[in-house]
Amino acid sequence: MGNPEMYVDLTPEFTDAGTPVIKFTNDDDANELLANDPNALLIAIVLDQQITTNKAFSGPRDLKQRLGHLDPARIAEMDEDEFLTIFREKPAIHRFPASMGKRVQAACAVVRDEYSNSADNIWDNQPDAKTIMKRLGGVPGVGPAKQKIAILLLARYYGMDIPGWRDAIPITLPD
């Protein structure tokens, strides 16, 4: 099964306020950001491609450190070359900084334009799994596999009540 250090223990811990903090990464600050900022979670999902989960889910923290924010409107409105330069800074946010930087910027434009500048509007108001998957499908970089991963994360680990989530992701999970 490969190197066990490549896999992430998705057993959540909880803050005093009851917010789940999943150990996606080896960095507590990155995990806290993912627990508290839906835009960070969506960016991580977009980045989760051809790199380790640790690297993908650390990306939003690294990007926030470089930009000072994760505001989708501000990211979408940045000059593309300037944004890609930030994405390429060593260590690069992603193994493919140009293509994934463009994808993150395009995803942020969708969040700005269609979801009132907050990714949680994609999954808030208790839509069913199919609705959330359809909304996620309109975000650049979020195809069918990532849609299912997002549904699993939101329902199983973020504790959201998403009608139909088990039917939407045809995998067997322990109770």
Integer Cα distance of 94 and 144 in angstroms: 21
CATH number of 4-168: 1.10.340.30
Beta strands of the chain (E only): which ranges? 13-14, 20-21
- Residue 45 structure tokens: 């999902």
Residue of 55, 109, 58, 51 whose CA lies nearest to 80: 109
Determine the residue type at 123: W
One digit per residue, the tens of pLDDT, for the chain of length 175 reads 344 444 445 555 666 666 666 788 989 899 999 989 999 999 999 999 999 999 999 999 999 999 999 999 999 999 999 999 999 999 999 999 999 999 999 999 999 999 999 999 999 887 999 999 999 999 999 999 999 999 999 988 888 899 999 888 876 555 5
Q: What is the pTM of this model?
A: 0.87
The answer to whether the peptide bond before residue 91 is cis (omega within 30 degrees of 0) is yes
pLDDT at 171: 67
pLDDT at 67: 98
Among left, alpha and beta (phi > 0; psi -120 to 50; other), residue 91 is: beta
pLDDT at 7: 43
pLDDT at 2: 42
Domain segments of the chain: what residues? 4-168
